[in-house]
A and B are shown apart, each in its own frame.
Chain A
């Protein structure tokens, strides 16, 4: 493995039950076939984990994986992927984060960490180059992410180390608990933090003094220079994202009539301007922030107003004085805002801050609270059960429930199960707005047909990052596809899925694809690894990973019946706005999708397709 470039060649394997740590060479063949990150991790997971495993049992594994471009000078080469069986979904989940944690892991000399078993007591993993050890973490158990990170920097004596931690939500196995690094970057979805909590692993702190060797440094510099020019040429990566972050989308999606409101009962929000990127900039933005090696800098440093800090106090006083925070991302401002009928930015910022500190996925949290609000307004829940007037628009309830959920206190214990289980328990499962147990993100699939297909077929449950057809259907290049049409959407969704998956495997950020293409990324990957991959080969890597994940899910018991949408999306037309009268026409798209994928009508990859992709 010493000849490898891009990859550093070593996998850390940690048996938490026995407290042992071993190092092994990265499987080079898999690295060539699956590139890295989501791909190689999925291959290890496929090989080592029984799909029938209980997600929160010691037999489930938790993999942290970087890509060959992580920690290089490639723009946006800061990502790692967490791969495990998601407790929220029962499917393979692949949850991604940026910041500087992943580059530090590479600098320490590791491409991946595979965590097995369950520690008998709380521990954290400390990695400093060759020195790797499990240390007691009883003193950190119960702490928030912020306090944990500060404590580990003091304890290790290395304030420049990077920390990925869980908060109380992960410890309490909230089914959508997140893993948070650098306090505000998160592998957020599907409950990866709950798996970490079940293993009693509080945090992974890492510092590396090495570097990532690349095959052709001169070619790497040339390719990177060209990519930077492409990113500075594209309006979204040179202006839209740096200026407004992902919140640039709030007004855009609202104008298209595709912004879900009040648990998808409406698709345009009167308060959208109040929670938009434009409004954040005018009233609460302090600065931009970038991940390691990022030339886009979409991150927001924002502040809660004095009035908001006073109003939205929580029971843990240490978190009450805080004005400064980061975000919110568009998806979070939607889930905590429009989906709950809330346009008070301070309530959203406070809830978002708590999500980071307590370790919660804000998308599922907001969507589950929105479903509870609809249950409450329909009379399926009352104040004796919720402990509060849980109506749409109630920012106080949002903030209170954020904290209660992380600690599973009161009605927060119901929210902690996610909206599929919660709506079923209280008698109206049709109010779950999601796929495979995971809640939708911020685009109404009745108004954007391709998103419905992307949600339905996503391997990790409803997700905007697997097939972001919004790019073509709403803000497309060079011409827009009709968001109301179904024609061509199967091909579109597959193209996005394969491309996004390939990018995820490299260790780059998906936002790069707002400014460049796989053809733009390819020279950097070749310069870093020394392996020639043309664009078609990269797409095939994406297709291979996608099929592998699908195969694992099929073996876990998921079927074509899970590639569906809620009744509201399929049978209840949008009531007003630009997309009035629309439903999602998934049945028109799904059979073509299966056929183009080379899958059976039951949604199973055919033997021929698996052979073509080299999956055994």
Chain B
């Protein structure tokens, strides 16, 4: 089994522990396994929600380029506040939601969205 390590109280509360075992597979499939356990409240945290109170979401980053890694093949869109690491490396720099998670791998999830940004 692989393991998903959860940072922050909200994710830990919804999934009942600091880390949970998961079956290997692509990141998208691992997230599906988590949603099966955590239900709609977890799904709402992991997947996109509309911008609030009329504040425009930035379409493109001020620095770097949006690789589109948050978009799944089925059209789902990950929350912009969600960060996913595979063995400490952001999957944004691997194969996004298609990144394979193997036996003994560690996937880390945390919610750390920042709205402010210099020049943004």
- Chain A interface residues (CB < 8 Å from chain B): 229-230, 233-237, 239-240, 243-244, 248, 251-252, 255-257, 268, 273, 278, 281, 471-472, 475-482, 484, 488, 491-492, 495-496, 498-500, 512-520, 535, 539, 577-579
Contacts and interface: CB of A to CB of B under 8 A. Distances in A.
- Among B63, B65, B89, B92, chain A packs the most CB atoms within 10 A around the CB of B63
Nearest to B62: A495
A514 B115 contact: yes
17 contacts: A230-B53, A230-B115, A233-B55, A233-B115, A240-B112, A255-B85, A278-B9, A278-B12, A477-B61, A478-B58, A479-B92, A488-B63, A496-B118, A499-B119, A515-B114, A517-B115, A517-B118
A391 to B, nearest CB: 28
Contacts of A240: 8, 111-112
A513 B5 contact: no
B75 interface: no
- Among B5, B57, B87, B117, chain A packs the most CB atoms within 10 A around the CB of B117
A584 B78 CA distance: 31
B92 A471 contact: no
Given A480-B64, A495-B63, A252 B9 contact: no
Nearest to A492: B63
**Secondary structure type dominating chain B contacts:** loop
B88 A579 contact: yes
B8 A244 contact: yes
Contact of A518 (B12, B108, B112, B118): B118
Nearest to B117: A477
A535 B118 CA distance: 10
Interface string B54-70: 01011001111111011
A380 to B, nearest CB: 32
**Secondary structure type dominating chain A contacts:** helix
A514 B55 CA distance: 15
Contacts of A520: 116
Interface of B: 5, 7-10, 12, 18, 52-53, 55, 57-58, 61-67, 69-70, 80-81, 83, 85, 87-90, 92-93, 108, 110-120
A57 to B, nearest CB: 37
A273 B18 contact: yes
B8 A476 contact: no
A33 to B, nearest CB: 21
B57 to A, nearest CB: 7
Given A257-B88, A480-B83, A578-B87, A236 B63 contact: no
A230 B116 CA distance: 9
Given A240-B8, A256-B88, 13 more contacts: A237-B115, A240-B111, A244-B9, A255-B108, A255-B110, A475-B112, A478-B58, A478-B66, A481-B61, A512-B116, A513-B118, A517-B120, A577-B88
B63 A235 contact: no
- Among B57, B111, B115, chain A packs the most CB atoms within 10 A around the CB of B115
A481 B119 CA distance: 15
A208 to B, nearest CB: 30
- Among B7, B18, B61, B69, chain A packs the most CB atoms within 10 A around the CB of B7
Contacts of A481: 61, 63-64
B117 A472 contact: yes
B93 to A, nearest CB: 5
Given A240-B8, A243-B9, A234 B93 contact: no
Contacts of B10: 239
B89 A578 contact: yes
A471 B117 contact: yes
Nearest to B116: A513
Nearest to A475: B112
A499 B69 CA distance: 28
Contact of A482 (B5, B80, B93, B117): B93
A477 B118 contact: no
A515 B112 CA distance: 11
A100 to B, nearest CB: 24
Contacts of B57: 478
Contacts of A498: 118
Contacts of B117: 471-472, 476-477, 513, 517
A520 B85 CA distance: 31
Contact of B116 (A234, A492, A535): A234
A171 to B, nearest CB: 39
A495 B63 CA distance: 10
A236 B8 contact: no
A231 to B, nearest CB: 8
A585 B83 CA distance: 25
Given A236-B114, A252-B110, A495-B63, A480 B80 contact: no
Contacts of A476: 61, 64, 114, 117
Contact of A235 (B62, B67, B92, B113): B113
A242 to B, nearest CB: 12
Given A255-B7, A498-B118, A472 B63 contact: yes
Contacts of B5: 255
Contacts of A230: 53, 55, 115
A479 B113 contact: no
Contacts of A255: 5, 7, 85, 88, 108, 110
B88 A495 contact: no
Contacts of A578: 85, 87-89
